[in-house]
Amino acid sequence: MLKTTLLNAVQAGAAQLMHYYNGSFIISNKEGVNNLVTEADHAAEKAIIEVIHNDYPDHFILSEETGEIISNSEYKWIIDPIDGTVNFANGIPLCCVSIGLEKDGEMILGAVYAPILNELYFAQKGFGASLNDKRIHVSQKAELIHSCLVTGFPYTYLDAPNGPLPVFEKLIRKGIPVRRLGSAAIDLCWVAAGRFDGFYEHHLQAWDSAAGFLIVQEAGGKVTDFEGNAFSVYQPHVLATNGKIHEELRAVLNGGEIKM
């Protein structure tokens, strides 16, 4: 039943995303530069929460736009109604709905649906990960220098020591391709699917990574913070890889040099 609710919820959110995509909608800006929220974000969030509350009215909800709907339930739904809002607002198809479900603080289900790409990613703790109902696995590349990476940039502290720009510069100066797609949830799913060998970002919120990190883990990958600790969606740093390049990339994120 939980899985059914999850899949129904991402479908409901995606229906709103598709309804507004390349159409006319209201755009406003939250705190900061280019921190957009659209009419579609609110409509998708409303549709998702309605599905969840219809089946589980007493469950805790944490959602990007609404914030916390607090209860004493052991279950918490962590929702990003549209991840990649800037892409969405500009008609770029790299945007998705992302929902993770925790039980007693452990992520047990995750789904990311990019309807414009017709890609639905799903994972259940201990049961693997899938793309459109087909099992997926991380890549097998074993050296950072031969890897293809993806990242995202915050709009602050870009030049901090070992921050987004210094790390990016270090990697690309060695010829390592590093992409920026504008959707952390898609970034994580594409690591899980073996399209990228690693993803790192210096500052994410819980709703950005809740579903995606479980999908990576269930596809055979490794997800930690920058110190190598077990990943928690409630801290900002995420490093997700195929596992084989993990320590090498982690060393670079902490000031180390790239092995040639």
Residue 200: what residue type?
Y
If you classify domain 2-135 with CATH, what class do you get? alpha beta
Question: What mean pLDDT is predicted for residues 208-215?
Answer: 98
Q: Where are the beta strands (DSSP E) in 125-236?
A: 129-131, 134-135, 149-151, 178-179, 198-201, 222-224
Does the pLDDT of residue 161 top 60, yes or no? yes
Give the C-alpha separation, 78 to 237, whole Å: 18
Give the fold, CATH level 3, of 144-253: D-Maltodextrin-Binding Protein; domain 2 (3.40.190)
What is the percent of the chain where pLDDT is above 70?
A: 94
**Comparing C-alpha atoms, which of 51, 81, 50, 57 is closest to residue 71?**
57
**Comparing C-alpha atoms, which of 15, 17, 34, 216 is closest to residue 107?**
216
DSSP assigned state of 230: B
Output the CA–CA distances (angstroms, integers) from residue 61 to 48, 161, 170, in the order listed: 11, 36, 39
Domains 2-135 and 144-253 alike in fold: no
Give the C-alpha separation, 166 to 168, whole Å: 5
**Confidence (pLDDT) at 91:** 95
Give the C-alpha separation, 124 to 171, whole Å: 33
What is the domain partition of the chain in residue ranges? Answer: 2-135, 144-253
For the question of whether the overall pTM of this predicted structure is more than 0.85, the answer is yes
